[in-house]
Amino acid sequence: MKRAALYLRVSTVDQHPETQLHDLRQMAAQRGYAIVNEYTDRISGTKVKRPGLDQMMADARRGCFDVIIVWASDRIARSVKHFLEVLDELNRINVEFVSFREQIDTGGPLGRAIVVIIGAIAELERNLIVERVRAGMRRARLDGTRIGRAPLVLDSLAIQQDRQRGQSIRQIAKGHRISTATVQRVLRKHASTSQEHAA
- So which residues are the catalytic ones? 11
Partnered with residue 40 across adjacent β-strands are 8
Closest CA to 76 of 158, 3, 5: 5
Pairwise CA distance, residues 40 & 8, whole Å: 5
Cβ-Cβ contacts under 8 Å for 114 (sequence gap 6 or more): 104
Q: CB-hemisphere CA count at 13 Å for 147?
A: 12
Residue 47 near residue 75, CB atoms below 8 Å:
no
